Amino acid sequence: MIKVGIVGGTGYTGVELLRLLLRHEAVALTQITSRGEAGRRLDDLFPNLRGATDLAFTDPADAALAECDVVFFATPHNVAMQTVPGLIEAGVRVIDLSADYRLRHVPTWEQWYGEPHTSPDLCALAVYGLPEVNRPAIKEAQLVACPGCYPTSVQLGFLPLLERQLVDTDHLIASSASGASGAGRQGKIANLLTEAGDSFKAYGVGGHRHLPEIEQGLAAIAQSSVNLTFVPHLVPMSRGIHSTLFATLVDTAGDLQGLFEQRYKDEPFVDVLPAGQLPETRSVRGANACQIAVTRPQGRSTVVVTAVIDNLVKGAAGQAVQCMNLMFDLPETQGLNVIALMP
């Protein structure tokens, strides 16, 4: 059994990790930490876990994380970087769901997050945890930086086009909408039902922290620099991301539907819909899945890709478990064969 610890188990990503890991046949969950909830049973805070575990939260200072085989960090930025170096030194494998190790260029991270990075040397060690791109490296990694939710949907959508150099990389556009859980489990006036309900708004138009991560990933795929205009939106639902991606084709002769189907035919968690069908967020709710459609409106030079994921699963916890399976030579789908909830 893989001995697993979780740092920061009180947020939406943390409880989603619990939901998946507590039913994973190869996992023994031994530690879950929270300073504010230390000593409280998990199923007291999250009643959906009643009957699934009798674990209680542990103060991080008292947790025996170094005895784990792998530790997940489901924390805000600036938390993992304080603790991960010691775990790496102790030989523990780490999967970080925060932004601390996603950017390889440390000055860029410091610019976007407004503070010094306390373990910059590990940014070069970290493997970016997008299995559809980095599967071999993830298998060998000691430290995996799990992608953000928006970056997952945008990169998977653009991936086949960029690999084949079919689009103008200087004028990529991503218009993405996320449910309120993307902001985390915390009190914010803007996320109250009476503020966000019956409304739809853009935010971070002048610059969002996921932009450098997305551009870093797209540039690696294209093997050239890219320029992306990224506009995120808040949509009044609890979970889900819908990304609409626009690019200008430099070669209009190819079969785009066939290209996407061929690229993802062996990917267990990417589903290319038949031509003419468009994805909906409800079709992936609760599942570690990305559904994609590719369209060329009116046969013109603009290609439109629509991609949906559950931001808490394929956009966070599910993708992290997918990486863990690869790291420990388990079937990649183990513990993740969950059918999406309908309606």
Catalytic residues: 149
Residue 304 in 3-state DSSP? strand
* Contact in structure between 9 and 79 (CB atoms under 8 Å): no
Neighbours of 176 (CB within 10 A): 26
Which DSSP state fits 25? T
CA angle 117, 14, 6 (to 5 degrees): 70
Give 162-230 as a DSSP string.
HHTT-B-TTSEEEEEEE-GGGG-SS--GGGSHHHHTT--EE--TT--THHHHHHHHHHHHHTS---EEE
Specify the 3-state DSSP secondary structure of 114: coil
Residue 123 CB-density burial (10 A; 0-12 exposed, 13-18 middle, 19+ buried): buried
Backbone angles phi, psi at 254, to 5 degrees: -85, 170
**What long-range pairs does 107-112 form, CB within 8 A, spacing at least 24?**
108/212, 109/212, 112/207, 112/209, 112/212
- Which amino acid is it at 32? I
Tell me how far apart the alpha carbons of residues 245 and 138 are, in angstroms, rounded to a whole number. Answer: 27
